[in-house]
């Protein structure tokens, strides 16, 4: 995450569909879908999730983004 932090942050800031998803995430229904999906990913792909969490942490991007 740290190595590509600028690239990751630029992508997150500029990618339109992602920003639309964040608007949905900020709703009660959207947050429930996110939380339910995250639980499935934790159970099925824990190592993949840790990799994504590390990338988010290293780049300074909030994980939910």
The 3-state DSSP composition of the chain as helix, strand, coil percent (nearest 5) reads 80, 0, 20
| Tokens 């934790």 found at | 42
For residue range 7-27, list pLDDT tens digits in order: 888 888 888 888 888 889 999
Q: How many Å apart are CA 54 and CA 58, to the nearest integer?
A: 6
**pTM (2 decimals)?**
0.75
* Type and span of the H or E element at 28: helix 28-44
**pLDDT-derived band of residue 61, with 50, 70 and 90 as boundaries?**
confident
**pLDDT-derived band of residue 1, with 50, 70 and 90 as boundaries?**
low
Q: How many Å apart are CA 55 and CA 44, to the nearest integer?
A: 19
Token readout for 45 is 């792909």
């Amino acid at each position: 995450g740290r190595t590509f932090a600028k690239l990751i942050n630029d992508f997150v800031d500029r990618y339109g569909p992602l920003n639309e998803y964040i608007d949905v995430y900020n709703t009660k229904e959207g947050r429930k879908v996110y939380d339910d999906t995250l639980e499935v990913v934790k159970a099925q792909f824990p190592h993949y999730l840790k990799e994504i969490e590390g990338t988010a942490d290293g780049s300074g991007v909030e994980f939910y983004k």
